[in-house]
Structure 1
Amino acid sequence: MITIDRVSKRKGRTRILHDVTLQARPGRVTGFLGQNGAGKTSTLRVLLGLDRPQQGTALVCGRRYRDLRRPLTVVGALLDGSGAHRARTARAHLRWVAASNGLPAARVEEVLDVVGLTGDAGKRAGRYSLGMSRRLGLAAALLGEPEVLVLDEPVNGLDPAGIRWMRGFLRAQAAQGRTVLLSSHLMGELAEVADDVVVIHRGRILTQGGLAEVTGGHATLEDAFFALTATETGGAW
């Protein structure tokens, strides 16, 4: 379970998050939808303890991220890139991450297989394509078999086969009872996988609920999104 309650944050004199409140529930994929710069990554950074808000709380399974003793066993996160040093092999990187949380080395081989990188595990991360880097980041997120997954634009850099694989992976994780929070600006892609949708625009939550509820009388999620944001901004970006 993820609970974000009235989070506000400033960057310099600019307020980038305005009383952001949302929930992501177990057994469901929650799509966090907004254009680039809308506040998605800023919200996730607060949730993961990377940034501190001026007000509000962000909890994973009822606790702040910084209070988790072995965070990888509770929440697996994928933000920008793989997090691996360019000179390290994928296998060496994952072994280091596993050791940092007291996880068995055998788990490294399991997650490499899950994300389809077993054959490339000996390559240095600096030689990975963008899509392979996203898979490596996902492997690191899975190491602790966490209850919660937080994924920021996970299909970036994936080819069509990789995108299809990611859809099935996310649905399988939710079916196993995990909480999956997935940020994206790709509305059509999000509609293919999300149970619930949270729409953020210019640092404010415009609406949230089940996919059918958010879509409402509109033909597509994209139509609903542009109707919501046009109402908020008077038709101007």
Structure 2
Amino acid sequence: MQKLLTILAIVGLRILATTAQTCKECQTANSAYCYNQTHYYNCMKNEITGDLEACDTGLVCSNSPAVCVTAAEITDPIVDVCGSSGTGNCGSCSGTTTTFTCVSSNQFARCVSGVASGVYDCGANEVCVLSAFTDYGSICVPNCTLSFLDLEATCSNDGSVKTTTVAPSTTTGVYTNVCDDAASSTKLYFYTINTEDSSCRSYIYCQRASTSAAFNTALYISCPTDKPYYDNTQNACVTTKPSGC
């Protein structure tokens, strides 16, 4: 029996080492989708499901069966999936000059204060390739040119980035209410503090089709660990907790 348990443990470690360890992808090892270093979704049938979950303070999202672990537990094959020991390219805004990042095989986001914000779709029959923005001026590349340019999609997940979408005027949600409260009469899209989060560690990206339309996108975004608080006056994540939080 002891020998069998040892074999199973070795096999488990090998699975962790070889399965997906990329930010914003469903991982086979623990059925978790690390949204960023401190938040994750659960996965079913390789698709995200349920609400965004937060790791406890001091823990990061990993490929461990426990999902959230301490820094001391980040030793091979366990990795900080959205941090320095993960692959990092998918959904990463870590570079100081990063303008856009791929968040799925056919979606991209703009990087704002080091965080991926505002999800956009590539065109029909296009995939998102991070290096293409620097090399060719467009982050979305037609499928027919991938082989010729020797490129492949930066992210393997297919358009599964989650946003909160509501029907105009008839259906409301907590985050679209936040957008309604913060809206001006002229802005089609903007960022605002998440008034439902008393810790001030998250903010909301709001978007609508016209100034007379209801908000149809309300995207929850959490601040990074090095700048954990959102300051609504600066419109950015900051290191010091703003007064009033």
Point out the structure with max Rg over C-alpha: 2
* TM-score higher than 0.5: no
Q: Which has the higher contact order (CA 8 A, sep 6+)?
A: 1
Which of the pair is proportionally richer in helix? 1
What TM-score, normalized by structure 1, do the two folds share? 0.24
What TM-score, normalized by structure 2, do the two folds share? 0.24
